[in-house]
Amino acid sequence: MPQSIDLRVAELICSRLCHDLISPISAINNGIELIAEVGDEARPDADMLIAESAHSASRRLRVFRYAYGLAGQDVSLDEIRSVALAYFEGSKVQLDWPPISVSLPPGMGKIILNLLLLAPELARGACKVALTASPGEIAVSYSGANAKLEEDIAAALDGAVLSDNLSPASAHAVLTAALAARLRAKLTHAQDADTVTLRMRWSS
């Protein structure tokens, strides 16, 4: 598929970023307003709300910086792993990512993050996401009672979806496929009972 992407993809990705960040940022604002309205009596609860929300916003911003920005091109895989583990901490997604010892092309960590960020679209609700690696291949599996590869996501990963039919979820899949194409990597997908598996292969 071409490495260039439609402007609508960028618009939908921006919408997704705003959606994911508005909750913790709004909670920070609510905590500040609570202190202003109630005074020091509300400070312990408000301080806790502000601290937790700020931590959540920071974790999300770190992931988005590497997944969508230029910073993800040169960052170490260890840092990518640390950021991903922190991002899913306390969520419905249980991330199983053991340290990887295989050699990966520069920029591969960025694509791995984008694959992981597909988890809510592939396994709604509680799920386990496992990442494995071998020479020339990365596999990410998404397991859960509701794990399913929807047709629009599959089409987007295959590069066969029109921009007019994109959603924020399928736009993310389009971006992931474009990033893989830039590294001359091939994405494949499979559904097996309650598990969806995405594989990315490249020439080692």
Beta-carbon count within 10 A of 198 CB = 23
Nearest to 174 by CA among 185, 186, 184, 166: 166
Q: Give the three-class secondary structure for 150.
A: coil
Residue 3: which pLDDT band, with cuts at 50, 70 and 90? very low
Residues 6 or more apart whose Cβ sits within 8 Å of residue 44:
none
pTM summary value: 0.87
Fold (CATH) for 7-201: Heat Shock Protein 90 (3.30.565)
Whole-angstrom CA distances from 41 to 27, 31, 34, 47 are 18, 12, 10, 11
Q: What is the pLDDT of residues 138-150, one digit of tens each?
A: 999 999 988 999 8
As a whole number of angstroms, the distance between CA 52 and CA 83 comes to: 17
Q: Where are the domains of the chain?
A: 7-201
Question: Which residue in this structure is represented by tokens 């921009």?
Answer: 163
Q: What is the pLDDT of residues 107-133, one digit of tens each?
A: 888 999 999 999 988 988 889 999 998
